[in-house]
A and B are shown apart, each in its own frame.
Chain A
Amino acid sequence: MRYSMLYILLMGIVSVCHAQTGDSTFYLNDVVVTGTRTLKLLKDTPIQTRLITSADIEKADATNVEDLLQQEMPGVEFSYAMNQQKHLNFSGFGGQSILFLVDGERLAGETLDDVDFTRLNMANVARIEIVKGAASALYGSNAGGGVINLITKEQSEPWTLNLNGRLARHNERRFGGTYGVKGLWLQNRLSVDHTSTDNFHVSNAANPATQVVSTIYGDRTWNIKDRLVFTPTEGVKLIGRTGFFYREMVRTADTPERYRDFNAGLRGIWDINESDNLEVAYTFDQYDKSDYYKISHWDVRDYSNVQNTFRSVFNHYWNTGSILTAGADFMHDYLVHMNLKGHTESQNSFDAFVQYDWLINTQWELVSALRYDYFSDHKDSQVTPKLSARYKLLDNLNLRFGYGMGFRAPSLKERYYNFDMAGIWIVNGNPDLKSELSHNFNVSADYIKRHYNFTLSAYYNNVHNKIATGIPHLTPLTSSLLPLTSDLYLDYVNLDNYSVYGGDMTVQARWDNGISARLSYAYTNERLPKDKDGNTVNNQYIPARHHSLTARIDWDHQFTRHYGLLLSLNGRALSEVKNVEYINYYDISEGTTTVKYPAYTLWKLSATQRIGHAFKLTLAADNLLNYKPKYHYFNSPMTDGINLMLGLSVDIDKLL
């Protein structure tokens, strides 16, 4: 193991020498784990991985993963689904196909297919690794569109204490603190974070083309996390973590909606010998939703998702640099919801995978893998192959190719819910749903020349039996002449082939004068889904925009030993997008219309002053151009103009 790691690091150092300053400048010597679940240098990983570093997170001044991803990555769009629940479109894939992980562990709970993004705050996040497509064998169902893995910070100092806060418009407040200690065998980090924002109203012009939002709902969150690392003996590392999350949203004054999460995990890593290591882990995650009836003081839970997961992974390292990885996961998924018959459903899922990472020579590296998934509900199972290759054409030019077959079994919700959407229509679960199967192809190249880094990638995904809500249909009328209650149904169905293709391009530069810049562009083309008969179906979510762009330019200068300044300007621009929607959901014979959602651009200017070693004072103007959407459609930026922010961070340990 140690020899193997040494080999990886030596290879990295050799590459650094060849590439002069480029690799370290662009974090290409940073270690990533998500693609192969083994430690790989970013520039060497055969599975294309996008890394967002802690420096990027700090510059973005983001509160949660939504703020950060939208600022950092083109092709990422968070919009509203019905009832102002957040929905992610990530290069044409939605929440059911994008797997969010924290230190490799999945999250329980969903609303309209997406996890609760407010759980994923940026406190204590060391880096975020993003693997697009179904390239990795290690994450099965729900990862067909990609994996986003948040890696938490390790404690490196004997003790640290950071306190921070930020104020902005709409009474937006963010306060947090992290206390870390490290001893000979133990290290611990405890973080407590609180955010709150008021509800606020936005105005819309007359005659919108489709539904608009007039009140933006704020929320109040608490996020408490603790992570303990115990090293009882050399080669054995035990990691325990626990967390509590609480969010309250006041849509109706007398009945705030509450969301809670309780999570805990234990992980053991054992370096058996110099060539082998074993990891076992257990994760518990419970996500609850409840309504608090203020008048009667009742807190009534109407949803709970409990996931218990066991995992083991074994790695064998050859001194040639090749790695064999084998592992298995078992998960018990328990769901409570008032819309389920009998109110509860559960299922067990099991997977096993084997992956061989073959370092053929200094130029070629090939990762081949097989994965088997099994779901006890309806006994769905599938074997999926994956293949990725890296070819070092020049010392500073890497090419990557990948193919991955993706698999997604229908969720318990898609099979068993009967959900009355406020009397508008009833979303019907379908027990006969088949599993989705997808084919993902990707190719990429990255090139470094002195102060510049170029990345180019393209992908094509094809999904068979995509699961979505189908064509609305009416049940026969009731005995009365007029139907009195909703008899409009939306059934979950398997659609015809769905495909999405696209590509992205990033240019980064970092000069010696403290200026750095990055420009990223993404093209995404979704072939809108149709049913098995070729009919246009109700597209539950607005599709991805064809063109999107993110840009950032920073200037960082240390004027004196006690004063430094970071100026940062970042922005994003998104093209318009069209969606096919029914003219009349109650009479689909009236046909469809194409609704055009406008393009927009948003920019943020921030100045962070480093005062002494302990203080950071940030002034920022978000939505710098004071953009106010004419209509606040579900995919419009939920803003009413420029937002000034003031933040302060103090490292107490550096004051003493």
Chain B
Amino acid sequence: MRSKLLTFTQFTLLLSSLSACHGILDELYDKPSDDVVLKEGQLYVDASSWTDWYYLDLTDVKKGFVRKEIPTEAADAQHYASPPPSEAGGLYTYWYDVFNEGLSKHEFRSFTSTKTQADPESWHIAVHRNNVRTNGGAVYETSYTSMDDLPESSKAFADATFTEDEWNELDVWTVQTQMLQGLIGNQGIPINPVLSSWLKVSLPPIPPTFTLNNHVFIVRFEDGTYAAFQLENYQSPSGTKCCLTINYKYPY
């Protein structure tokens, strides 16, 4: 009896010494900070905001990306139930079949005229989440998946077909307040469909899925200069989507 009591007491003491109040195996996980370490020829921008464009002047990359808010105040305090007769700046609210067939099925719901987007004096590209604009440029998607493999100069793409920015009122998602109803307010603005394909957003499900296209894109600007871009990563170290790490070469 006494030996059993001793065995059992020892066992109880063993139990009480075992607890690990805050858990174990922390080392399995990474604890990245949002301090981004960039390599030569890389740019980083947190473009996760729904309501801002971030502009880059390739002749002054040290300045970094410059933020400009998407205008959302109604120019005439009016909402319109039908789209404007021609491409007009403003917010276009569309219903998307976000829970079933996806973004390809959509219906126009309303239009709110706003002030036009204010651009900086000098810029080459601007990014908003997964969308990219060029300042009068045109883009060609190569089959290269590494900047190192690119031909020496952009002359190799002289005969390629470049695509200019196109009017868009479906993709620059700006207002997300009624997303559960499938309603999203988009900025009506030209974007470059080729360069914007470096990051594809799909719905359903909610939250959306992101697919990175790691091809290198060649951009021809109005002044005849060329640049090469490749999206390296679209997440911040702590996982925020649309924080873009971009490989670039300019002039190319």
Give the interface of A toward B (CB within 8 A). 83-84, 204, 208, 211-215, 232-233, 235-236, 238, 251-255, 260, 262, 264, 266, 268, 270, 272, 278, 280-282, 284, 286, 288, 290-291, 293, 295-296, 298-302, 304, 306, 308, 310, 332, 334, 336, 346, 422-425, 480-488, 584-586
Question: Is A310 a contact partner of B21 (Cβ separation < 8 A)?
Answer: no
CA distance A324 to B147 in the complex (A): 76
Query: Chain A: which residue is nearest B28 at the CB level?
Result: A299
- Which residues in window 3-23 of B have CB below 8 A to A? 3-4, 7-8, 11-12, 14-16, 18-23
Question: Is B25 a contact partner of A262 (Cβ separation < 8 A)?
Answer: yes
Q: Pick the contact of B73 from A284, A295, A481, A584 — CB < 8 Å?
A: A481
Smallest beta-carbon distance B57→chain A, Å: 27
Does residue B206 face the partner (Cβ distance < 8 Å to A)? yes
Does residue B252 face the partner (Cβ distance < 8 Å to A)? no
Question: Is B100 a contact partner of A255 (Cβ separation < 8 A)?
Answer: no
Does residue B61 face the partner (Cβ distance < 8 Å to A)? no
Question: Is A233 a contact partner of B8 (Cβ separation < 8 A)?
Answer: no
Q: List 24 A-B contacts (CB under 8 A).
A: A83-B207, A212-B99, A251-B205, A252-B210, A262-B23, A262-B25, A266-B11, A266-B14, A268-B8, A268-B11, A268-B12, A280-B12, A280-B15, A286-B25, A295-B232, A295-B233, A298-B32, A301-B29, A423-B176, A482-B91, A484-B72, A484-B175, A485-B176, A586-B180
User: Which residues of the other chain, A, contact B8 by a CB distance below 8 angstroms?
Assistant: 236, 268, 270, 278, 280
Question: Is B22 a contact partner of A83 (Cβ separation < 8 A)?
Answer: no
Q: Pick the contact of A306 from B22, B112, B204, B233 — CB < 8 Å?
A: B22
Smallest beta-carbon distance A149→chain B, Å: 21
Question: Is A306 a contact partner of B177 (Cβ separation < 8 A)?
Answer: no
Question: Is B72 a contact partner of A286 (Cβ separation < 8 A)?
Answer: no
Question: Is A422 a contact partner of B207 (Cβ separation < 8 A)?
Answer: yes
CA distance A480 to B7 in the complex (A): 71
User: Which residues of the other chain, A, contact B29 by a CB distance below 8 angstroms?
Assistant: 288, 290, 299-301
| List of 5 A-B pairs having minimum Cβ-Cβ separation, nearest first | A282-B15, A422-B207, A306-B23, A301-B29, A298-B30
CA distance A260 to B25 in the complex (A): 11
Smallest beta-carbon distance B128→chain A, Å: 13
Give the interface of B toward A (CB within 8 A). 3-4, 7-8, 11-12, 14-16, 18-25, 28-32, 50-51, 72-74, 77, 91, 99-102, 112, 174-181, 185, 204-207, 209-212, 232-235, 237-239
CA distance A268 to B12 in the complex (A): 8
Smallest beta-carbon distance B6→chain A, Å: 11
Query: Chain A: which residue is nearest B14 at the CB level?
Result: A266
Q: Pick the contact of B237 from A280, A298, A483, A487 — CB < 8 Å?
A: A298
User: Which residues of the other chain, B, contact A298 by a CB distance below 8 angstroms?
Assistant: 30, 32, 237, 239
Query: Chain B: which residue is nearest A235 at the CB level?
Result: B4
Given that A266-B11, A299-B29, A585-B181 are known contacts, is A233 also in contact with B3, CB under 8 Å in the complex? yes
Question: Is A482 a contact partner of B4 (Cβ separation < 8 A)?
Answer: no
Smallest beta-carbon distance A369→chain B, Å: 25
CA distance A296 to B44 in the complex (A): 14
Question: Is A236 a contact partner of B23 (Cβ separation < 8 A)?
Answer: no
Q: Pick the contact of A424 from B11, B50, B102, B180 — CB < 8 Å?
A: B180
Question: Is B204 a contact partner of A214 (Cβ separation < 8 A)?
Answer: yes
Question: Is A586 a contact partner of B177 (Cβ separation < 8 A)?
Answer: yes
Query: Chain A: which residue is nearest B233 at the CB level?
Result: A295
Question: Is B18 a contact partner of A584 (Cβ separation < 8 A)?
Answer: no
Q: Pick the contact of A300 from B30, B205, B210 — CB < 8 Å?
A: B30
CA distance A266 to B10 in the complex (A): 13
CA distance A166 to B175 in the complex (A): 48
User: Which residues of the other chain, B, contact A238 by a CB distance below 8 angstroms?
Assistant: 11
Question: Is B205 a contact partner of A215 (Cβ separation < 8 A)?
Answer: yes
Question: Is A214 a contact partner of B99 (Cβ separation < 8 A)?
Answer: yes
Query: Chain A: which residue is nearest B101 at the CB level?
Result: A214
User: Which residues of the other chain, B, contact A286 by a CB distance below 8 angstroms?
Assistant: 20, 23-25
User: Which residues of the other chain, A, contact B21 by a CB distance below 8 angstroms?
Assistant: 306, 308, 332, 334, 346
Smallest beta-carbon distance A407→chain B, Å: 25
User: Which residues of the other chain, B, contact A270 by a CB distance below 8 angstroms?
Assistant: 4, 8
Question: Is A424 a contact partner of B206 (Cβ separation < 8 A)?
Answer: yes
CA distance A486 to B179 in the complex (A): 9
Given that A236-B4, A298-B237, A486-B176 are known contacts, is A254 also in contact with B212, CB under 8 Å in the complex? yes
User: Which residues of the other chain, A, contact B237 by a CB distance below 8 angstroms?
Assistant: 296, 298
